[in-house]
A and B are shown apart, each in its own frame.
Chain A
Amino acid sequence: MHGVEGFIYPNEVELQWSVLIVLYPFLTGLVAGAFILASLERVFNVVAVRPTYRLALLTALAFLIVAPLPLQMHLGHPERSFSMYLTPHRESAMAMFGFVYLWYLMAVLVLEIWFDYRKDLVLTSRASTGLKKKIYGALTLWSDNIDEASLRVDDRAGRLITIVGIPSAFLLHGYVGFIFGSIKANPWWSTPLMPVVFLFSAMVSGIAAVMLIYMVLTRLRRAELDMRCLDTIARYLFFAFLIDFSLEMLDLIHRLYEADESLRALDFMVKTKLFVSQIVMQIFLGTLLPIALLGAAQLRRVSSRARQWIYAVSGVLTLVGILAMRWNVVIGGQLFSKSFLGYTTYKMQFATREGLLPAIVIMILPLLILAVLLRVLPPWTDHRDVEA
């Protein structure tokens, strides 16, 4: 059989989960990571990153809105997907994740953004006319009280939501890790480390994404880059990376050392061609190189221009590396047979429902949504800045 080496069970001839399922943890990871960055300022008072606070929230929202799309395009019956809310099987991680997603979207992200932007929404509503006034009026739920007392309420609400939001963000992406990590049939996925690895790689990717978006948008606005902000973000990225790398190496070394049936019978890395995507792209280009670059920027006296270049390159490499990590987990875990006697290949097509083209569109879509959000909810002036 073409593309098959050794023996695979007859039903394993095609991969079950495609590149769209690679995108899904990537997108939700960006959400969790962006939110954690926002919470650094809101809860832990890391004032330096305030310029990115609202941007991080909007980035999270844009990606979270798009996140269900690859899932819907993958399902055999997307019209039945609402059943996950009607008859959720409590033993199924996937079903429970539907509620975690809903909770995070509505009770955390949307509410936090609403409370934070409410004063600006009210002011915009008051200052506009016609359709725009109607839209902004609706967004404020037609309550336009922005006196001292209600703004204090907003502030407390926002803080409370962020405090609740941090474990919610952990749950959001840790759960995705659990969806894979709880499958005992697949030894490449089955490990208690999976939720933790997913979570830390999410933080890394989210922080890098916000950092890059901030840099690009600031340039496009021809504004000045806040270097103190960037340096702080880069420092958090660096430390998150160290933890993430340690966890991933712990997992990999543990597997290689124990060399149980699944690894021993398979010459896994080389035969599944994961060598390129894992060793080269994920570990070297996607982790070690950015860590080295970021570390260099931390330790040595480097000019601000050079630091900007380092951050930009590291940011891109980071995103590529985390995407590679998702690929290696999702696709890698399906390239070997559960008989541990053979391999198959992933034949990704281009213009089909689960092909490369929809994957590219899905990756671009959040940026378009973000562009709309930036117009409706401009993040560049924060009323809390003005008051401070």
Chain B
Amino acid sequence: MTGRPSQHQHVYRVAGLFAAGFVVFLIVRWALVPADFGVYGFYRGGALADARAIPVKYAGEQACVDCHTSVVDERKGVRHEKLKCESCHGPLAHHARTDENSKPRALNPRLLCLSCHTELKGKPTAVIPQVLAADHGGDGPCTECHKPHRPKIERP
């Protein structure tokens, strides 16, 4: 009986090889899949924290209002009041942080005002007053006549 290999010997060997491969796979899987995978759903749970940790660049209106209360007063009762500060002034979280004393960059009135107020077909006129720059006030900056925080020209 001894010495003569069974007719299935090679089948056992190849099956053993496959089984060994499977075990190696399971070990690799245990080692490589992050521990927080699957905590909330089929994804790495830490990805949520990664998405939240990105630094904020637009501070949000409240941050501006905290310090610039005179502008708040100036904008009372006009249409520009519902404009949030940063929609014109750009992202200013770096300026709002007290440890970084950075001045916001200067704005180009003509480009900025016209980006919204240029007359364009399709812009609902009830929502925004529009002008064709060529017919309205020449080449000078809009701020020559309009105060940006209180743009409606109030006649005495």
Chain B 15-29 interface mask (CB, 8 Å, partner A; 1/0): 001100000010011
For chain B, give the interface size range.
10 to 19
CB neighbours (8 Å) of B28 from chain A are 86
Q: Does A307 contact B (CB under 8 A)?
A: no
The minimal Cβ–Cβ distance linking A91 to chain B, given in whole angstroms, is: 8
Q: Does A89 contact B (CB under 8 A)?
A: yes
**Complex: how many Å from CA A147 to CA B17?**
22
A85 touches B25 (CB 8 A): yes
Q: Does A302 contact B (CB under 8 A)?
A: no
A141 touches B10 (CB 8 A): yes
A118 touches B10 (CB 8 A): yes
**Complex: how many Å from CA A107 to CA B25?**
16
- Tell which of B7, B13, B18, B29 touches A86, judged by Cβ atoms closer than 8 Å: B29
Chain A 277-302 interface mask (CB, 8 Å, partner B; 1/0): 00000000000000000000000000
B25 touches A157 (CB 8 A): no
The interface size of chain A toward B, counting residues with CB under 8 Å, comes to 22
- Tell which of B5, B25, B37 touches A145, judged by Cβ atoms closer than 8 Å: B5
User: What residue in chain A is nearest B12 (Cβ atoms)?
Assistant: A143
The minimal Cβ–Cβ distance linking B133 to chain A, given in whole angstroms, is: 27
The minimal Cβ–Cβ distance linking B30 to chain A, given in whole angstroms, is: 10
Chain A 69-83 interface mask (CB, 8 Å, partner B; 1/0): 000000000000010
User: Could you list 20 further interchain pairs (A-B, Cβ under 8 angstroms) beyond the known A145-B7, A150-B7?
Assistant: A85-B25, A86-B28, A86-B29, A86-B32, A86-B33, A87-B37, A107-B18, A111-B14, A141-B14, A142-B13, A143-B5, A143-B10, A145-B5, A145-B6, A145-B9, A147-B7, A149-B7, A150-B8, A150-B10, A154-B10
Which residues of chain B have a CB within 8 Å of any CB of chain A? Answer: 5-11, 13-14, 17-18, 25, 28-29, 32-33, 37, 42
10 A-B contact pairs sorted by A residue (CB < 8 Å): A85-B29, A86-B33, A87-B37, A106-B18, A107-B18, A141-B10, A141-B17, A145-B9, A145-B10, A149-B7
